[in-house]
Amino acid sequence: MNNTLLYLLMFCGGMAVAVQPSINARLAQKVGLVESSCISFAVGTVALFLAALLAGRGSFRGIAGATGWELTGGLLGAFFVTMTIFVVPRIGTAAAMAAVIGAQLTAGVLLDHFGLLGGRHIPLDPARSIGIALLLVGGWLVFRRAAG
């Protein structure tokens, strides 16, 4: 799979992440904040379980060899989804996504630069620094507009 296709797939994933909080916030109006998060994860779990059964190439038995920290992804995802459901109705989708993007870039550059959590080591160079700075400034402008 070429890098352009991978980038486009992540772009689509990013669009989904931007739309998801508004959908979940609407559901939260009917069922509650934590309940909306729970329903979102339950629907996602069922969809992923079916995908694993139909197209998966791994094995759930491998979980026996996983360490505790390797199982925290779902917890972090639940925290993220719950926070977006709470925040989006208060500051708007664009401002919330600006904060998310800033945080993701900061964490991503640290993970890459230091090769943390078994990831690929990609040193922070001037071009990446400028790109990240521009994205952070853009995010700040979007967030500032919503906060002001």
Q: Are 85 and 37 in contact (CB under 8 A)?
A: yes
- Write the secondary structure of 50-89 as one string of H (helix), E (strand) and C (coil): HHHHHHCCCCHHHHHHCCHHHHCHHHHHHHHHHHHHHHHH
State how far the Cα of 133 lies from the Cα of 122, in Å rounded to an integer. Answer: 17
In the chain, the percentage of residues whose pLDDT exceeds 70 is 97
pLDDT tens sequence for the chain (148 residues): 788 999 899 999 989 988 999 999 999 999 999 999 999 999 999 999 999 999 989 999 999 999 999 999 999 999 999 999 999 999 888 888 888 888 898 899 999 999 998 889 999 999 989 988 998 888 888 877 665 5
Sequence-ordered list of residues with C-beta below 8 angstroms from that of 89, at least 6 positions apart, any chain: 25
Q: What is the pLDDT of residue 145?
A: 67
Q: Which helix (H) or strand (E) holds 8?
A: helix 3-31
CB atoms closer than 10 angstroms to residue 109: 16
Residue pLDDT, tens place only, 26-48:
999 999 999 999 999 999 999 99
CA–CA gap between residue 20 and residue 13 (Å, rounded)? 10
